[in-house]
Amino acid sequence: MYATGIPMGLLTDARGPQLITLIGSIALGLGYFPIYLAYKNGEGSMPIVFLCFFTFLTGMGGCSAFGGAIKTGMEHPDQGLGWIDLIYLAASNFPDHRGTATAFPLAAFGLSALFWSNISTLIFKDDTGRFLLLLALGTSVLSFCSIPFLRILASEPYSSIPHSAAESGRLHNPTDLHSVPEEAEDTGLHGSTAFEHGQHPAHGRSHSSASNRQSYGDDERSSLVSRIDRPRPSFDTLDDDFLAEVDHESHHLDIRGLAMLRKAEFWQLFLTMALLSGIGLMTINNIGNSVKALWLYYDDSATDVFIQHRQVMHVSILSFGNFLGRLSSGIGSDLLVKKLGMSRFWCLFFSAVVFTLTQLAGTTISNPNSLVIVSGLTGIAYGFLFGVFPSLTAHTFGIKGLSQNWGVMTLAPVFSGNVFNLLYGNIYDGHSVVGKDGDRECPDGLGCYRSAYFLTFISGLLGIGVCLWSILRERNVHNAINRKLDHRLA
């Protein structure tokens, strides 16, 4: 699902969301249906290589069938589905409310595990074969039926405000020069690089010219990197043509591919994603093992059926927490920017803090009845992380290449997730014993995996450090910009 983000993103940016959703619909059907047949026909009916391939198709289908509806929301300022398609659609049609626009489809994605697992339990009574058939038909048909509704609404062409009018507004509102625009705090590290290299952020243009709500909305639509990539003349020699050109380019900049890899902003975001997503994926992918280890140690009379139901319960808790986190993060980040003038990085900071505290809880909770703390908080923190990240990516590198840029960002969980999963697996296997039937069981309870949570706790602390570093640097940058503007007007 994560590894196909880049090619699916390239296709989405080039051909739009409808084609990639069709590909996702077909891939989901071609992936789940052979797995259903293999389960129905029994052991040995399909080579493991083919099972791996069809499982890969389900991940690719989920990626492409989700990603386009998020980009459609960021390019049409007045209007209020697939992973790459959802990002593409929501981000393109709602540029003034990117966080909220991407939050709803992202939240629905987080809730999908709860939806399908409950159907399996309530309707099919844990009949795995019929459940796999439902996934083959249900996911494919739902994605296909959404295709006619996936479209990018036409937006009005951008035109810059005449510099004379902006200057007039500035003279009539001198006190506004010291106010920070709503999106100013959203620039994070992105403005810092510009200032340190003596370049003129286009953001300074909106700050010094049109200090009103409209200019803030325009700034939200511009790219962060657009503010740092243009050589800056002296503040005393800025002219109307230069300011108008920079203002225009800030709304049309498109950073993607190898050009993005040369930006410090990319590596800062990629590192944050890697440190935090790996923590979440370790718990998400191994919560079943943790549940089993704790119950076998806590209550010898716990049956396999009872433990299985507890595992399903924790999957549902993770899914619902993920849903709440994604929804709260997207909407909350817009409120931080629009109402409080704060940075979206505070949402990442919250996620990092919750992740870190959860890892600490994971090292101490030995009662399986209290394990809901770990699964619930992990879901919320993971949702907060993914709920705000598309908005940060779009604002940093522009909307036009959002799908492929987001695909690059989702490579971070591929690396960190595998590292932490292997770490957990090696520690768990080291405490396990092989029973007479050949199954591995760990009789040590919390000791089966406790060391893994100590290591992820360190990763959480590093994530907190990166987030604070980002917030502090952006604050220093904007203070420096304000001083330059004050000096120019003195």
pTM score, two decimals? 0.69
Percent of all residues in the chain with a pLDDT value above 70, rounded to a whole number? 66
- The strand pairing partners of 433, in sequence order, are 441
Burial of 409 by CB count in 10 Å (0-12 exposed, 13-18 middle, 19+ buried)?
buried
Per-residue pLDDT, averaged over 4-29, amounts to 76
Which two structure tokens, joined as six digits, stand for 389?
């990240």
Highest mean pLDDT among 147-161, 371-385, 396-410: 371-385
Tell whether the model's pLDDT for residue 350 goes beyond 90: yes
Burial of 119 by CB count in 10 Å (0-12 exposed, 13-18 middle, 19+ buried)?
middle
* pLDDT reported for residue 420: 96
pLDDT in tens, 23-64: 888 888 899 999 999 998 888 888 999 999 998 888 888 776
Which of the residue ranges 201-215, 216-230, 319-333, 388-402 would you say has the lowest mean pLDDT?
201-215
Return all residues near 239 (Cβ < 8 A) that are at least 6 apart.
none
* pLDDT reported for residue 13: 66
Query: What average pLDDT is seen over the chain?
Result: 74
C-beta separation of 467 from 345 below 8 A: yes
Highest mean pLDDT among 179-183, 251-255, 385-389: 385-389
Per-residue pLDDT, averaged over 392-403, amounts to 78
* pLDDT reported for residue 451: 95
The pLDDT confidence band at residue 145, using thresholds 50, 70 and 90, is confident
> What's the rounded Cα separation, in Å, for the pair 320 and 261?
35
Tell whether the model's pLDDT for residue 356 goes beyond 90: yes
- Which 3-state string (H, E, C) describes the chain? CCCCHHHHHHHHHHHCHHHHHHHHHHHHHHHHHHHHHHHHHCCCCCCHHHHHHHHHHHHHHHHHCCECCCEECCCCCCCCCCHHHHHHHHHHHCHHHHHHHHHHHHHHHHHHHHHHHHHHHHCCCCCHHHHHHHHHHHHHHHHHHHHHHCCCCCCCCCCCCCHHHHHHHHHHCHHHHHCCCCCHHHCCHHHHHHHHCCECCHHHHHHHHCCCHHHHHHHHHCCCHHHCCCECCCHHHCCHHHHHHHHHHCCCCCCCCHHHHCCHHHHHHHHHHHHHHHHHHHHHHHHHHHHHHHHHHHCCCCCHHHHHHHHHHHHHHHHHHHHHHHHHHHHHHHHHHHCCCCCCHHHHHHHHHHHHHHHHHHCCCCCHHHCHHHHHHHHHHHHHHHHHHHHHHHHHHCCCCHHHHHHHHCHHHHHHHHHHHHHHHHHHHHCCEECCCCCEECCCHHHHCHHHHHHHHHHHHHHHHHHHHHHHHHHHHHHHHHHHHHHHHC
Burial of 175 by CB count in 10 Å (0-12 exposed, 13-18 middle, 19+ buried)?
exposed
Which two structure tokens, joined as six digits, stand for 201?
């952020």
More confident residue, 199 or 456: 456
More confident residue, 120 or 137: 137
Tell whether the model's pLDDT for residue 159 goes beyond 70: no
* pLDDT reported for residue 87: 52
More confident residue, 3 or 180: 3
Percent of all residues in the chain with a pLDDT value above 90, rounded to a whole number? 24
| Positive or negative: CA dihedral 54, 59, 64, 69 | positive
**CATH 1.20.1250.20 domain span(s) along the chain:** 254-484
Which two structure tokens, joined as six digits, stand for 68?
């386009």
Tell whether the model's pLDDT for residue 463 goes beyond 90: yes
Tell whether the model's pLDDT for residue 74 goes beyond 70: no
Q: By C-alpha distance, which of 162, 168, 119, 174 is closest to 142?
A: 119
Highest mean pLDDT among 155-164, 192-201, 277-286: 277-286
pLDDT in tens, 164-217: 444 444 444 443 433 344 444 444 444 444 334 434 444 444 444 444 444 434
Burial of 42 by CB count in 10 Å (0-12 exposed, 13-18 middle, 19+ buried)?
exposed
Architecture per CATH, domain 254-484, reads as Up-down Bundle (1.20)
Tokens 């987001």 belong to residue: 406
* pLDDT reported for residue 245: 42
Tell whether the model's pLDDT for residue 349 goes beyond 90: yes
Burial of 52 by CB count in 10 Å (0-12 exposed, 13-18 middle, 19+ buried)?
exposed
